[in-house]
Amino acid sequence: MKYLDVIQRNPDDVVALAKLKEHLKITFSNDDSYISDLGLAAQQRLEDYCNIFILETSLVQYGNTFNDLNILYKSPLYNDTFSVKYKSGGAWVDFTSSSELVWKLKPSRIYLKDNNSIPTTDDVFQAWKCEYKAGWNNVQAVPQPIIQAIKIMVADMYENRQSVIVGKIVSEIPRTAQYLMNPYKVQTL
């Protein structure tokens, strides 16, 4: 069994309040708190939909076997710095020098280098772990389609505050935000 533990999330907003208000064409400040909350909700929804972290987030993925770490849960990897460890003799032993990270793939993967073998671990639950960072290192590095998708989602939530619209003819708007997010969506097995 494998699972992911989020160690530290980046607390920064991907899209600043001023940019959200500019997109919404709002000049008053009465709804600032509400718009900020919508920005965070859109950011989290995008991360869940795409299976990514937008801004640098520290993670630990645990598994019972080395193969449980082959596919990392979250992308994009911040850089190729990572640490793979296994339990032996009751302590965590570094295995990073014997492994290779193919980090430009979606999803990011860890493979064993040629002519290396997997060491014997303690017979314990979660005998393996990989510590890594996912996300872009700053807001300026985040791809523009992700920024635009957040703005569109915020505008949609701001304009449509109820789940039902009464007394108006409604037609579905093209899924622009979804089209912008799809290239960044990471499928894991």
- Mean pLDDT of all residues in 104-130: 81
pLDDT(116) > 90: no
Task: Tell me which of 180 and 107 has the higher pLDDT.
Answer: 180
- Mean pLDDT of all residues in 30-39: 96
pLDDT(189) > 90: no
Q: Domain range holding 87?
A: 1-189
Query: What are the distances in angstroms from CA 7 to CA 60, 133, 134?
Result: 7, 10, 11
Total domains present in the chain? 1
User: What single-letter DSSP state applies at residue 113?
Assistant: P
What is this structure's pTM?
0.82
pLDDT tier at 34 (50, 70, 90 boundaries)?
Answer: very high
pLDDT in tens, 63-101: 999 888 888 888 777 666 788 899 999 999 988 765 555
Query: Is 133 within 8 Å of 53 (Cβ atoms)?
Result: no
Tokens 């001023």 — which residue?
A: 18
Nearest to 86 by CA among 61, 54, 52, 106: 61
Computed over every residue of the chain, the mean pLDDT equals 85
- Mean pLDDT of all residues in 1-15: 89
